[in-house]
Amino acid sequence: MTTKKRPLSFPHECLPAASVKKIIDILRKGDLKALQPGGKIPKFVREAFGPDVVHCPHIIPAHVAFDPTPSNKGIATHLIAGLLKPHVGVIVQHNGRIGREDTSEEKAKLLLDAADENDESSDVEGWGIWNLHHDSSYVSSYIASGAKLWVIYPPTAENLEVLCETYRTEYPHDTLGIFEVYQRLKNGIAVLQPPGTHLWQPPLCPHSVFTLSSSVLVGGEIYRATDFAFRLQNIEIEAAWAVRSRTNCDQLVLELRNHLYQALCTRNNEFAMEERSFQREILDSWDQVIGEPHLETLIRTAKTIKMKHFKDVWVNKLLEWGVCPCGEMIKNAGRPTTSARLRASRDRKAAVEHFNEQHMG
């Protein structure tokens, strides 16, 4: 007696048939396991992504993630208010479709539908595919309406190499990288996010998002000081993405500089570490990448943020500490003086000379 394999089922009425077939191919032939919403994080997720819960993607019910639980009307009101503000930097409208763009009318209708607490569906016919990519931060995503299918892979060296190659490859029109390389990505998870749930995703994970019906999603980015060294060690990924985007990457490079600053400001006793060991880990990662072209390539994609701004962060912290994490004291060799201004000038010169000679390649 033979048993037939149950067909994979997910809501796909809004997606073109060709895209549905490709998504099913990914789910069936890719190295993926299904993650069920809620409950404990399965063993296979911890084995692939790490034992720490913050490094594991998982779905959290809204009543657990938020207090009070957000309402669709409240979220839609927040988004509409943000869109009405000039120079708002927190609202991003993702157009992930192939071959067409959402209109302003569709977006407005979608928000109004989401605001209707008595209407669980949207009259806006929408679908989208957010191609294979990464986020530099932890990302929290609350979906108020609609449904999304997430395909997420751990940030292993092998998976990040595939992602980097994908960024550097020019695919034909209407072809997305995820459909070409998914069989090379390993130990991934597939999770269907229903409305009213919150998805937690760690940084640098290669992932794609398939919007199965018009959705309203509110997300946030979280950067941890303890992850900066790992981010720096994989800066090639961000450089490849920045070159591929062909846009002004000032915001990305500024955010990297700010991440460095906040990481160096973190006190060691918060992590029960020995003196300067945390900063030493970051410095070792800096020394590792400064001799390679990727960090410089990334910084060159920005117009207003330069390598000087990163060096200034280091020099200012060296002056504050009086000693470099490498162990060398920062002190000037000039004659003693009672002039505070002259002493400060000499100290800065000593810090600059040390950093240029020892930590700028």
Q: What share of the chain is helix, strand, coil (3-state, %, to 5)?
A: 45, 15, 40
Closest CA to 43 of 30, 54, 56: 56
Closest CA to 129 of 244, 212, 245: 212
Cα–Cα distance, 125 to 263 (Å, whole number): 44
Q: Are 138 and 109 spatial neighbours (Cβ–Cβ below 8 Å)? A: no
How many degrees, rounded to 5, is the angle at CA 121 between CA 120 and CA 124? 150
Q: Provide block-wise average pLDDT over 10 residues at a time, the chain (361 residues).
A: 46 68 90 87 95 91 65 65 53 39 53 50 55 92 85 97 94 81 96 88 95 78 91 96 86 94 76 66 95 94 95 94 89 66 85 94 81
Cα–Cα distance, 249 to 18 (Å, whole number): 34
Helix axis angle, 277-290 relative to 340-359, nearest 10°?
60
**SS3 call for 351:** helix
CA distances (Å), origin 39, targets 30, 67, 119, 256 = 24, 19, 28, 34
pLDDT at residue 242 in the model: 93
Joined tokens for residue 72: 């669709």
**Rg from Cα positions in the chain:** 24
DSSP for 89-146?
Answer: -S-------SS----HHHHHHHHHHHH-TT--S-SS---EEEEEE--SSEEEEEEEEE
Give 271's Cβ-side CA count (13 Å radius).
16
pLDDT at residue 127 in the model: 66
Closest CA to 116 of 144, 158, 82, 88: 144
